[in-house]
Amino acid sequence: MTILRKFLSIGECMIEMAPNSGGAWTMGFAGDTLNTAWYARACLPERSWQVDYFTRLGTDGFSDRIIGFLSDNGIGTAWIGRDPARRPGLYLIELDDGERRFTYWRENSAARRLADDETLLERVTGAADTIYLSGITLAILAPNRRDRLLALLAQARTRGQTIAFDPNIRTALWESGEAMRDAITRAAGAATVVLPSFDDERSAFGDETMEHCARRYVEAGARDVIVKNGAGPLAFVTAEASGVFDDFAAVDPVDTTGAGDAFNGAFLAGRAAGSSVVDAIGKAQALAAQVVGHRGALMPHEQIAALS
Supply the residues annotated as catalytic: 261
Q: For the purposes of burial, counting CB atoms within 10 Å of the CB of 301, is it exposed (0-12), middle (13-18) or buried (19 or more)?
A: middle
Q: How far is CA 301 from CA 13, 40, 44, 273, in A?
A: 18, 10, 11, 18
Helix/strand/coil (H, E, C) string of the chain?
A: CCCCEEEEEECCCEEEEEECCCCCEEEEEECHHHHHHHHHHHHCCCCCEEEEEECEEECCHHHHHHHHHHHHCCEECCCCEEECCCECEEEEEEEECCEEEEEEECCCEHHHHCCCCHHHHHHHHCCCCEEEEEHHHHHCCCHHHHHHHHHHHHHHHHCCCEEEEECCCCHHHCCCHHHHHHHHHHHHHHCCEECCEHHHHHHHHCCCCHHHHHHHHHHHCCCEEEEEECECCEEEECCCCEEEECCCCCCCCCCCCCHHHHHHHHHHHHHHCCCCHHHHHHHHHHHHHHHCCCCCCCCCHHHHHHHC
Q: From 147, 180, 177, 153, select the one nearest 165 (Cα to Cα).
A: 153
